[in-house]
Amino acid sequence: MSETVTKTLQATLATPTTGKEQRLQRLLDTYRDALHDAFDAGANTMSAVNDIVTPYDLPYQAKDALKSYVPKLRDTYNAEELDDEHPARLVNRAATFDHSAERDHGFVWQVPQPGRGTNFWIPLQINPEQESLWFDLLDGDATAGELRLQRHRTSWELHVTVEYSVEEPTESDDPTYIGFDVGESALITGCALKRDVPRKPMLVSGSRARHLRKEMHTTLKRLQERDAAQWRIDERFDHYQNALTDIVEKASREAVEYARQFEDAVIVLEDLSYIREHLDYGKWMNRRLHNWAFARLQGRIEDKATEVGIRVEYVNAAYTSQTCHACGRLGRRDEQAEFVCPHDDCHVSEFQADINAAANIARRANPWGESVRWEPGRDDSPRDGSACDSATVHRETSEKLSQMRLAAYSD
């Protein structure tokens, strides 16, 4: 059995000549003019949009994309106004690519233009990690969807949506559930359970990401206070976002590699659909947490896991940071990195908090891939921001081994 996976390929256009740059800019400007006119006219059907965009000097791939996109703006996205920096959207018939090892940039894209014989080729600087999918696109093993062309201050970027098939993970009679907790101090904490016994944990520090987010906030605030040019603000913002994206990619890759070492692995993640609504740590802490894309990191773990055939499940996120992995009762976190179980009959007294949470996440998946219902008698969650990271517990048969503090894991 196989399933269809959707992914976005990213490429930077090699520095174009003056003539090609002017044609690219004309395509983008004309597209935006047509988009704004169709939106402002209230066009909500493909026919209505077609009547407005037909006179524009655009390739048919752009006009067809507009006819599909504009009606969705109000009906689907509830848009009241448009951003001036919209990328140019093109339907998949604009996905004409070629490759040759003889060129400095192996992959090239044929940029669509209005009229006959006006298209031109431009080299692409692709993400090396996506090279195999670019070849799949050329060979027909992957199918192109929508293309988006965007200009930044010093470069042009092309995004191509592709669909391809991967083998659907088979369900095992004896799976190894691996819980991943995503947080601030520890970016990712993983803990595997095999026959309900915790295995060796892994942890990716969040100190670098936290430092970048703090630096980004301070830098952008100062630039705005000094009335800096918008291009300079955008340039710094892109710099930090690219750095954070790199951290997300590396951390998600490390998480999946950790999972692959276990036989019949199943990755278990918290359902964070309503994380913003549930946070109540004050304005300053909420800003920090909202700026960090928890769901984005989880999404990249799921993408990479799917590509290598590892099943992913989501479970209820409630109380994973305040529940003892050994006895299942509520405990407390006197310090950020330490979980305390106050119950005398439990063999756990103090434990490394993030590993405790990851073990709880893994434990909430049952053999049928469904969330385990768990409802505590009361809400003991702190309100001062002291538990902004989920906590994970690690269960051992020996009382001595269970007192895991893992000071080496601290930032």
Q: What HEC string does 202-265 produce?
A: EEEECHHHHHHHHHHHHHHHHHHHCCCCHHHHHHHHHHHHHHHHHHHHHHHHHHHHHHHCCCCE
Provide the Cα torsion 144, 95, 156, 60; round to 10°: -120
Domain ranges of the chain: 2-167, 176-365
Token pair in block for residue 15: 């520095």
What is 176-365's CATH number? 3.30.420
**Mean pLDDT, residues 103-110 taken together:** 94
- Tens digits of per-residue pLDDT, 53-77? 999 999 999 999 999 999 988 777 7
User: By mean pLDDT, which of 193-207, 226-240, 358-372, 375-389 is the weakest?
Assistant: 375-389
- pLDDT at residue 231 greater than cutoff 80: yes
What local confidence, expressed as pLDDT, does residue 279 receive?
43
What local confidence, expressed as pLDDT, does residue 399 receive?
37
- Tens digits of per-residue pLDDT, 301-341? 988 888 888 888 888 777 777 777 667 667 777 666 777 77
What local confidence, expressed as pLDDT, does residue 359 receive?
84
- Residue 227 gets the label, from left (phi > 0), alpha (psi -120 to 50) or beta, of left
What local confidence, expressed as pLDDT, does residue 194 receive?
72
Per-residue exposure over 291-301, b if at least 16 CB sit within 10 Å of its own CB, e if not: ebebeebbebb
Closest to 295 in 3D by CA, of 270, 266, 320: 270
- pLDDT at residue 239 greater than cutoff 80: yes
What local confidence, expressed as pLDDT, does residue 275 receive?
47
| Alpha-carbon span 107 to 138, nearest angstrom | 10
